[in-house]
Structure 1
Amino acid sequence: MTLTSPKPVQPASNLPRIPVALSSSSVYPLSVHDTFAVAHDLGYDGVEVMVTGSQISRNPETLKDLIERYRMPVLAIHAPTLLLTQQVWGKAWTKIELSAAMAAEVGASVVVAHPPFRWQTGYAGNFAEGVRHIAEQYGVTIAVENMYPWRVRGREAKAYLPHWNPLPEPYEHVTWDFSHAAIAGMDSYEEIRRLGTRLSHVHLTDGTPNGKDEHLLPGEGTQRCAEALQYLSETGYTGTVAIEVSTRKAKEPGEREEMLRQTLEFARVNLNQVVDE
């Protein structure tokens, strides 16, 4: 499929324009610096920084320098609450608080956090109340991300407390990830409708119900990505849509950038932000 470069415009209605951000995970194994450069070159509205072992991802002063250099705001901070980032920023609550503090310092309005793992019993016991308190303290939104069931030898293993699905939990704000929904056998379009105003952040990607967190380009999996974005554009969604796709298989020069350009265009078209030339 050949796509032309997107031309962003205000939606036809008087609803606010939904910003589209590039997650630093989408350029992996390239750097956070590369995320800013690619987002600037392709015309994204901002970036989402995933906090990892990378020093740049944990340094607000460096991030502010990149914001100024590329005229590219940080719209979200992803807290280091993944299994792969267990050693980053120490204890569970420290991860959340430092992420919120950095978000406030660099001007990001949202912190993305995963639900607690089952072995984090003390942290999990007052998680909803704790994130609410930290969010109020730093003046940011902490949006808990939907995850998916883990399976061992074909049987579900309880990995998260109280659950991988944030919908029935008392979280004020939720991040919705299409790839995670695919693994869980959920329909993102329907779940986003159920979330209503609790939906504060979106990870745009795709996936299939094969048990792998694929983070495909939207349209390559089974999720109703286009319909979900169209619904957001029509209902006054005030959060950010962050592109979180895997480009690790890119090998040819410019291949990664083309994947991210196509995904940006997919978002712009379905958010009603593109006009015909």
Structure 2
Amino acid sequence: MPGFESIDALVARMEEQLKPLERDGDPRQYFHGTYLRTTKAVGAEVAVGGFRDNPWVERWDLAFAQLYLDALEAPRPPRPWAVAFDAAPDLPPLRHVLLGMNAHINYDLPQALLAVIDDAEFDDAALLERREADHRHIDLVLADRVEGETRERIAAGAHLSLLDRVLLPWNKLGTKRFLAESRHKVWSNTTVLAQARRAGPSDYRARLEELEGLVAHRVTELTRPGQVILQLAVQGFGVQLKSTR
């Protein structure tokens, strides 16, 4: 699939993709719809200059989304996405959203960061600090979107158990916590992959395959019954590659 020139073009494509998912009752619609709304929110934040380096954030966001859209249209998607896409359709919509978020953040995000930070930039401490600051700012958009998805379901009359409703404030706190934890691990994993990239293609492929396996295992864990936010609080949202240094 060719790359996109702007977030607006990406949004238009995602809107077209959402229609058949909704028409067919495909549970992938839940993550896709959430991601579409999050992409719009990121685009709005870029438009008002909310990041330290807005053009870079747009390039990063496009590279990030491309990995998901490639997986969505692939006959054999990467293992984390295969697990998320094949999850039981009767799981709650929020669970499908979180499965997709886990696959996308933990597996795709380090690759997207590498696509927009070259080896020379990894040696520039001041520039990396700016990149990390923008990386942290994205968490606020994601946390607000996950909370919004649950509240929109309530407003639309969707059934939530009494426990689900009691846990809503904790879900917001839990979402912020696991995003912060995941962000730290994503940045660490990006650094490990960057080191492997310097070492050569075979080293990079080996570490990426290791990450793919770790994330697929974590997504599988999150398909099990129970309160998913509480599971995340115990298990953690992210995964971490061991550094060879």
Band of TM-score, shorter chain = under 0.3
Greater strand percent: which structure?
1
Greater helix percent: which structure?
2
Question: Per chain length, whose mean CA-contact separation is higher, i.e. which structure has more relative contact order (CA < 8 Å, sep 6+)?
Answer: 2
TM-score (normalised: structure 1): 0.24
